[in-house]
Structure 1
């Protein structure tokens, strides 16, 4: 007997509610490409995403999604997403899947 069967025995008049799926985030897509740069700061590699012209809140949610997908640290400063490490290829792939035009800058 699993947990659902036990709960049905305890509460026979209860009706099961369908699960609610999360809606896809509506991030504004722009015509100009996002710039994906690689730099070293204090000897450590970072990836910078720049050039977004939409709302700041949309860019922050995009930063959060990228950080969670790659399981890395990063921040959002001065309308730029800063990701710890050299993840240009993976970030460009994620952004292209979302529908953005991405341009690789430097190296």
Structure 2
């Protein structure tokens, strides 16, 4: 079965014998090494019903690597969270612990916000 993302949008039929369809597929960015990542660790409670979360932003790379880093941080803090769209959300105020883990793993991380 073809997935919906594989559809050729805008091209129905071409009479040109040399026509080659070009996909609009995006190449996934290669994950930068930890020394080149500029991560920002901040406390956030907007749109979360007043609950505090530790937000790690600025990750550049593949989703699998983001998920791996998110799982590591969630395990070290012993809490739940989520990792998607280049952000890692850790439930609760764990800025200091997250900073310590990131620096131990060789990431360049800064505290952001108050």
For normalisation by structure 2, the TM-score amounts to 0.66
Residue 90 (1) aligns with residue 78 (2): no
Q: Deviations along 1:43-76, whole A, 9 cap, x unmatched?
A: 1100111101122211110100111111101011
Q: Distance in 2 between matches of 1:77 and 1:54?
A: 11
CA root-mean-square deviation: 1.5
Higher helix share: 1
Alignment gaps of 5+ in structure 1:
1-26
Q: Which of 49, 56, 61 does residue 54 from structure 1 map onto? A: 61
Q: Summarize the alignment of residues 12-51 of structure 1 with structure 2, pairs less than 5 Å apart.
A: 28-40=33-45, 41-51=48-58
Aligned residues: 81
Q: Give how far 1:28 is off.
A: 3.1
Alignment gaps of 5+ in structure 2:
1-31
Q: Distance in 1 between matches of 2:73 and 2:51?
A: 19
For normalisation by structure 1, the TM-score amounts to 0.70
Q: Give how far 1:32 is off.
A: 4.1
Partner of 1:100: 107
Q: Distance in 1 between matches of 2:92 and 2:42?
A: 11
Structure 1 runs of 4+ with >3 Å offset = none
Tell which deviates more after alignment, 82-91 or 35-44: 35-44
Higher strand share: 1
